[in-house]
């Protein structure tokens, strides 16, 4: 006869399948191109153009083929981005 299972208690298979979660997850202040584009409010291809033009700050590291930056360096770019943002709204024709 099988023992009764408590619904709140995971089965052996369920507990083995779930990785243990750390109690506190520290957010890393490292951003890739996708995160940089979100923080600065620009499209991702623009980040690639800025890299080629030398506008971006030095990278913190390179993960495979992806450059990453420290968040603090990207935050310093915000005033420059806002000052150089073109008016994207078109006037009615």
Question: What residue segments make up the domains of the chain, in order of their start?
Answer: 26-84
Mean pLDDT computed over 24-51 = 89
- The pLDDT score that the predictor gives to residue 91 is 46
Q: Is the pLDDT of residue 52 over 90?
A: yes
Q: What is the CATH number of domain 26-84?
A: 1.10.1660
Q: What percent of the chain has pLDDT over 90?
A: 54
State how far the alpha carbon of 44 is from the alpha carbons of 5, 34, 39, 85, 93, in Å. 50, 6, 11, 15, 29
Query: How many Å apart are CA 18 and CA 46, to the nearest integer?
Result: 39
Q: pLDDT band at 11, cuts 50/70/90?
A: low
Mean pLDDT computed over 54-70 = 93
């Amino acid at each position: 006869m099988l023992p009764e299972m408590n619904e709140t208690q995971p089965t052996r298979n369920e507990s083995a399948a779930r990785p243990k979660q750390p109690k506190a997850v520290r957010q890393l202040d490292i951003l890739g191109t996708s995160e940089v584009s979100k923080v600065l409010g620009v499209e991702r291809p623009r980040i690639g153009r800025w890299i080629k033009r030398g506008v971006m700050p030095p990278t913190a590291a390179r993960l495979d083929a992806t450059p990453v930056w420290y968040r603090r360096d990207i935050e310093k770019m915000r005033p420059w981005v806002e000052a150089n943002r073109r008016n994207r709204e078109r006037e009615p024709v």
